[in-house]
Structures are given as structure tokens and as C-alpha cells.
Structure 1
């Protein structure tokens, strides 16, 4: 009788653990990011070839950040038979990534936006919005360039400067602010690592492509960077 009871309890526990197990960590979602990315990349290329050059993207405003502008519309792909099932790590399937297209009209690349960084940035933005309701200016910290500042964490009631976990290196990346109080992630650390491994760039150009070309991710919520004295620096607007 005792054995039967333990068996029943174990069965219930297994059922509950299956329901409570994070969607992004279930067995069907354990395929690597690279493998899932390759499947979607091929499906998007097949879509473009079969749909007279069109790509399956969600409609966004023209001023949307370049790396969030061309999010993949999986519904279109499924309805037209280019994708049988969605990648298990995608936002649509309860995962932590959004699939986006870089260079849709040229050298099309499918990449990932890490939504964990999105959430970390959003939490700081909520505090900033509250601060702006009571103050004339954003919570500017130290000036980095004529157009970019650190965030004064004390003004926002934070114990230390806000950071975001990098999808590239897992390093803690600073959050910075422009003159309008808009928040961005500072990818200088990741870019400097990339510059140590590659010189595939031209003087004066935006070097963020070094991250896009060599990893599954895009530097979401970033500003343009160029190189000065071998180091990544913010590209100033003229």
C-alpha cells in the first residue's frame, strides 16, 4: 500500500513539474541557438525566393531601431508552408529570443534579439519615466560625449549604475542615455573583443556588423560605433 502511494505521488509530481518547467528549457527546445537559427535562415531564404523577393517581416514604424525593425513574421511563414513549426527558443513559443532580419534587401542574415536584455532595459526605463514626471531633465550622469551620458543611478533610487547582461560575452554592459533621455546599451566591451579578432572594417564605418557577422545575436538598443586608436567609440552625429 505504501509503495502504491509513493508511486502515485511521484506520478503527480512528474505531471506538475512538466507543467511548471520553463517553456524555453523543455526537451523540445534544447536544440542549440545556432541550429534553430540555421533552420529559420533557410526558411526565410526559401520564402524570399518563392515570394518574388519579399521577406516575412512584421510591420514597424520607419524610425524603429535598425536591429528591431525587421522582426520575422512566423505566422506568414507557417500559413504559406515555409516553416512547419516555430523554433522553441522564440518569443512566440515562450522562449527568450525574437528572430530578426538584418540586411533584408542584400546579404540577408537571420539573428536573435535577447529579450532578457530588453526586460533589463525596460525596468530602468520605468524608473526613468517616474523621475521625469517630477523633474525637468532626465537623470543625466557623467558626460561621455556631446550627445551621450551615463545614467545617474542615485537619482533613480538604484544602489549602483544599471547594467545589462551581454548576450555576446555575458559581461555586465553599462546603460547610457542620449540628450532626449532615451536609453541605450553600451556594447564597447563586446566590440573591443571583436576588434581583437578581426580587422574586417573600414575607417569611419559603423563596426557593429562585427558582432552581427560572427555571432547569433544583434546588438539591440545600441548606438553606432566607429574605431579610434584601435578602440570602439560612439560615432558622433554630424
Structure 2
């Protein structure tokens, strides 16, 4: 399974650096994520009902990561009066979140992608690209599975292993790499917390990432699929 989304990270961060921080203290950005999420959720549902089942999403390639594939397009919702204004915390308004729909065919869950998690990924990816210009292989670190490796941060000139702060638990999550050198966030810690705290019927072979989506405002962006094995979250590998 291959995702090709990291190339967009430098562009996103360039835009964020230019427009996010000057507006970060605006009044509308002080409204809670939950309140703004509720407004957008209701607007999306009304849009689908009023527009013969259509959903206001941006067009993405088929191989786009599942949690970034259905980004909300606010323009038609505004133009047709389904929403009065774009939430102040949205990327389009200089905020640090992108609004996404988890499954447009079913329950239309609206969730947030925390764009602050992209900065460390972008930084590591730049170093990784530089390293690959001089070496045959990516900077593979410790083998985690046959298809997943840690990042050898010393080869990249870093003082310690890079991490990303989780939007779910605020824990520092590791960055991992697949065999092609694509970077991902390792959400195993968050998933194990959810497995312990949530009644569920997931079995080995099931993708358990919805555990993080169902009871949160966020999606696990830049993630690989996980399943459960002996009660613990493990990477779901291709056969």
C-alpha cells in the first residue's frame, strides 16, 4: 500500500507560515474546535440533503491518503447559503486545521486534520531527500516490521529521534518510514490507549484506526493501517 501525500507538505507549510500566525489570535479562532466542528457537520449534512446527495469535497487523486482524501470545499456551501462563514480555525482562514469527511458515502463524519503535525514531518522529509541524493537507500533505522522502519536520525544529522505531538493524547509520537522512504506518524500509543479505554469488537485483520476517529475531533493523518494482535495495536502489513 502506497500513499503519495508527503510532497504536499512543503507547500502547505509555506502557506501556513505566511497566513496562520497573524490570524491566530482572532476572535473567531477562540471558539472551541467542537463548536466549529458542529457547525460544519450540520452544514455538510444540510448540503447533502439539499443538493440531491452531493457532498462538498475537493477533488483528490485516488491514491490520496484515506483521511485526507475528502477535504471539505467550503466555497459551494457559502455560495448556496449552507454556511455563513468559514470557521476561523480552518486552513482557508489562516487556521491550523483542515476539515475532512471520513466517509462521504455513509455517516459523513466531519473531523479535523491538525496541520501542526506536518511541520516536523516536513523538516525530516527535507533531510531525508538530501540524504537520498548521496545514498542509494533511505536512512533506515531499526526494523520494526518487514515493511516499517524507524528513522536513523543520526544519519540525518539530528540530535534525537524526531517526534510529532499527538492531537489525541498530546503524547510525542515517533516518525516511521516504509520501504520506499515515505514518512508516517506512528499512532500505536494512541491506539493502545483507545483499545484499553473503549469497548470494541475489533479482531485481528481489522483496521482499528476508527477507534481514534469515533470519539475525537481529529483523524490520524499521515498514518499507516493498524490492526490488533494479542490486545495490542500493530502495523497492518500487505500480504
Q: Same fold (TM over 0.5)?
A: yes
Which 4+ runs in 1 deviate beyond 3 A? none
Q: Tell me the equivalent position of 1:145.
A: 145
Does residue 99 (structure 1) correspond to residue 103 (structure 2)? The answer is no
Alpha-carbon distance between aligned partners in 1 of 2:21 and 2:134, rounded to the nearest angstrom = 42
Does residue 83 (structure 1) correspond to residue 78 (structure 2)? The answer is no
Structure 2 vs 1, CA of residues 53 and 21 (structure 1 numbering), >3 Å: closer, same or farther?
Answer: closer
Alpha-carbon distance between aligned partners in 2 of 1:170 and 1:197, rounded to the nearest angstrom = 16
The aligned runs of 1:154-233 (5 Å cut-off) are: 154-203=154-203, 204-233=205-234
The CA deviation at 1:21 is 7.2
Alpha-carbon distance between aligned partners in 2 of 1:44 and 1:187, rounded to the nearest angstrom = 28
Alpha-carbon distance between aligned partners in 2 of 1:75 and 1:137, rounded to the nearest angstrom = 43
**TM-score between both structures, scaled by the size of structure 2:** 0.89
Q: Tell me the equivalent position of 1:70.
A: 70
Alpha-carbon distance between aligned partners in 2 of 1:106 and 1:40, rounded to the nearest angstrom = 17
Alpha-carbon distance between aligned partners in 2 of 1:112 and 1:25, rounded to the nearest angstrom = 19
Structure 2: segments with no counterpart, 5+ residues: 1-19
Which deviations, in whole Å up to 9, do the C-alpha atoms of 1:177-200 show, x marking residues without a partner? 000000000000101111111132
Structure 2 vs 1, CA of residues 229 and 163 (structure 1 numbering), >3 Å: closer, same or farther?
Answer: same
The CA deviation at 1:137 is 0.2
Q: Per the alignment, in what secondary structure is the counterpart of residue 25 of structure 1? A: coil
Alpha-carbon distance between aligned partners in 1 of 2:148 and 2:34, rounded to the nearest angstrom = 34
The CA deviation at 1:47 is 0.6
Alpha-carbon distance between aligned partners in 2 of 1:120 and 1:79, rounded to the nearest angstrom = 36
**TM-score between both structures, scaled by the size of structure 1:** 0.90
Aligned length: 219
Moved more, 141-150 or 23-32: 23-32
Alpha-carbon distance between aligned partners in 1 of 2:228 and 2:110, rounded to the nearest angstrom = 26
The CA deviation at 1:73 is 0.4
In terms of Rg, which structure is larger? 1
Does residue 117 (structure 1) correspond to residue 78 (structure 2)? The answer is no
